[in-house]
Structure 1
Amino acid sequence: MISATANNIFKQVIEDYHQFDQIDQPINNPYDKESLEHLLYMKCWIDTAQWHMEDVVRNPDIDPREGLYWKRRIDRQNQERTDTVEFIDSYYLLKFKDVSSLADATINTESPAWAIDRLSILALKIYHMEQETLRSDVSNAHLQSCTEKLNILLEQRKDLSQSIDELLADIEAGRKYMKVYKQMKMYNDPNLNPVLYGSQK
C-alpha cells in the first residue's frame, strides 16, 4: 500500500529534519533519484522546511524587511511544493498509461499526488501536535486539548491513507481515471500579474 510507504517516509523526513532543526540544512535524500520514494522524501522535506518558515514569519516582533524576505522564500518554497506534486502525478500517469478505463469510470475530485500532499502536511501536524502533548511548561487543560486534537489527526491520517490506497486501486482497475490539470498560477507570472507587467511599462 502506497500510504504505508508514504507515511513511513514522511516520519523519516521529519525525524531527519529535527535532528538539526535548521531550515537551510542540506537535504540528504537516501532514495534513488528515479524512484517514487525519492519524490516522497523531497515532498515532505519541502513541506517541513516551509512549516518552519511559516513559524518564523509569524513572529509578531519580526522586522518588516525580514518578514518580507521570509514571505518571498515561502512563495518560492510553495512553488517547489507544487512542482513536486506534479512530478508525483507524472509518475502515476506513466504508471497507469496502459490502463483502459471502464465505460462507467469516474474521475476523482483530486489527483493522487494532491491527496499525498495532504498526507504529508498531516504528518507534520501529527508530529508537532504530539510535541505539544509532551510539554511540561503548560497547563493540564492545554495537554488534554492537544491530546484530543492529536487523536483526531491520527484518525484523519487513517482515513486519508485508506482513501489514497483505494483511489490508486480504482485507477489501476479502470474504475477511476486520472485527469491532471497543470498549475496555472498567475501571481508569480510577470505576464499575468498586473502589478508585475504594469511595472514594466
Structure 2
Amino acid sequence: MTSEENTLSGLAAQVIDLHDAALAASGGPPVAAPAEPQDFNHLYWIRANHRFNSLLWAEEDLARRTQVGDSEIAANKRAIDGYNQARNDATERVDELLLVSLGLVDRASAATASPVSLASASARLNSETAGSIIDRMSIMALKVHAMRWQTQRTDVDDEHRQSSAVKLARLEQQRKDLASCLDRLVADCQSGAAHFKIYRQFKMYNDPRFNPALVAERGPSQGKA
C-alpha cells in the first residue's frame, strides 16, 4: 500500500469530522470557503463540495419564500444553478484525486474528458463513486445539523421536538450507513477487488452551447460557442 493510499484509511470519519466542524464553526449553512486552493488535495475539494452544498441549502430555503418579489426568487434560482454546477465539479475533482491516490487512473489523464483507467479487469465496477458518496454525506451533514436544531427549539411544543428527535436518529443512522459504504469501497479498491470511474455530469442546461432554449435565444448566427 502506498503512502497516498494510507492517507485514505478511515476516510469516512475524516469526512464526517470535516463536515461537522465546518457547520459548527459557521453556526449553520453556508459554511466558510476552504482557506487556500489546493488543486491536488482531496480534502480541499471535499471542503469545497461541502461549501457549495451549504450554499445550495441556503438558497433553496430562500427560493421558497412567499412574501418577496419574483425577481428575488429568480435570483435565488440562478444562484442555485451556479452552486449546483460548482458542487458537481468539486465532486468530480474528489473522484479524480482519490482514483489517482488509489492508483486506479492515469494521473495525466485524470482531469480530462477521457480518464484512462488502470484498474484490474477482474475488479468489479462500483456504480456509485467515492465522490458521490461523499457528496451525499455532505447533504446528510446539513440535514443532521438542521434537524438537531429542531430538537432544541423553544418556540415549538414537545411533540415537535420529539418527532424531530426520531427523524434525527434516522438521519444519523443513514449517514453512518453511507460512511460504512465509503470505507468499504475504498478498502475494496485498495485490495484490487473493486474500482469506480470518473463520471462527467455534462450538465447541458447550464451550457449555452447545448441548452436548446439558450441556443434559440442566441439565434442561428450565434449558435456556435
Q: Normalising by structure 2, what TM-score? A: 0.81
The match for 2:205 is 187
The match for 1:139 is 157
The match for 2:11 is 2
The match for 1:87 is 93
CA distance in 2, matches of 1:45, 1:164: 20
CA distance in 2, matches of 1:62, 1:109: 42
Retained in 1: the 8 A contact 2:104–2:195?
Answer: no
1:44 corresponds to which letter in structure 2? H
- SS of the residue corresponding to residue 66 of structure 2 reads coil
Q: Which moved more, 1:123-132 or 1:54-63?
A: 54-63
Retained in 1: the 8 A contact 2:56–2:83?
Answer: yes
- CA deviations 1:114-141 (Å, max 9, x no partner) are 0100001000100010000000111211
Retained in 2: the 8 A contact 1:3–1:162?
Answer: yes
Q: Which moved more, 1:186-195 or 1:97-106?
A: 97-106
The match for 1:27 is 33
1:121 corresponds to which letter in structure 2? I
Identical pairs, percent: 32
The match for 1:39 is 45
CA distance in 2, matches of 1:104, 1:175: 7
CA distance in 2, matches of 1:58, 1:200: 30
- Name which structure has the greater RCO, CA cutoff 8 Å, separation 6+: 1
Retained in 1: the 8 A contact 2:46–2:91?
Answer: no
Indicate how the Cα distance of structure 1 residues 187 and 15 shifts in structure 2: closer, same or farther if over 3 A, else same.
same
Q: Which moved more, 1:115-124 or 1:105-114?
A: 105-114
Indicate how the Cα distance of structure 1 residues 103 and 197 shifts in structure 2: closer, same or farther if over 3 A, else same.
closer
Shift of 1:78: 0.5
CA RMSD of aligned residues (A): 2.1
Indicate how the Cα distance of structure 1 residues 94 and 194 shifts in structure 2: closer, same or farther if over 3 A, else same.
same
Residue 12 (structure 1) aligned with residue 21 (structure 2): yes
Residue 148 (structure 1) aligned with residue 163 (structure 2): no
The match for 1:163 is 181
- SS of the residue corresponding to residue 109 of structure 1 reads coil
Unpaired segments of 5 or more residues in structure 1?
A: none
Retained in 2: the 8 A contact 1:106–1:175?
Answer: yes
For this pair of structures, how many residues does the alignment match? 198
Pairwise mapping of residues 170-181 of structure 1 onto structure 2 (< 5 A)? 170-181=188-199
Q: Normalising by structure 1, what TM-score? A: 0.90
Shift of 1:163: 0.6
Unpaired segments of 5 or more residues in structure 2?
A: 1-9, 106-117, 220-225
Indicate how the Cα distance of structure 1 residues 148 and 31 shifts in structure 2: closer, same or farther if over 3 A, else same.
farther
Indicate how the Cα distance of structure 1 residues 3 and 30 shifts in structure 2: closer, same or farther if over 3 A, else same.
farther
